[in-house]
Amino acid sequence: MKVLVTGGVRSGKSRHAETLLDREEAVTYVAPGPLRDDADWALRVAAHRERRPTSWSTLETGDLAAALGAGGVGGAVLVDCLGTWLTRVVDDAGLWDAPADEVATLVEERTAAAVAAMTGTVVLVTNEVGLGVVPEHRSGRLFRDLLGSVNQRFGAACDEVHLVVAGRVLRL
């Protein structure tokens, strides 16, 4: 089973994604976020860790394809979240100011590899960024457009897509 869980910030999407794996014996929680020294980020990560069962393992990586390729071997995989993964991909490549098509090509290559690697039970969490205003800054517009494309690719590869709004789940 492959499920993409999307929604706005603080909508309840991570909690919902975790409940989808309640019955799994082995779960690898993939945290593909940016590597940063940020107190607020550290608190957010700690809150997620406290909420998860102690039997779940955590893998912090930017190589989503490798993490998803291991999914069928070690049990279920929960990726939280594709938005932080995308940020890390663009950060690591230093491409925030590069031409949009160059960035899109890199992201498409990484996305295609990750989608192709999906095996076993996979639950992916992502942000819905297409419902708001047009961002003022180029980096915001670039991120919105790229994540919209990433979400479409993963959504097409999943068996189900769940939209979470105000803690309520709509199966699309």
Q: Catalytic positions, please?
A: 48
**Beta bridge partner(s), residue 27:** 76
Neighbours of 172 (CB within 10 A): 9
d(CA 79, CA 57): 12
- Half-sphere exposure in the Cβ direction for 96 (13 Å, CA): 10
Residue with token string 């097409």: 156
Check whether the bond before 81 is cis (ω within 30° of 0). Answer: yes
Q: Could you give the C-alpha distances from 19 to 34, 95, 114, in angstroms and in order?
A: 25, 36, 23
Tokens 């031409």 belong to 99
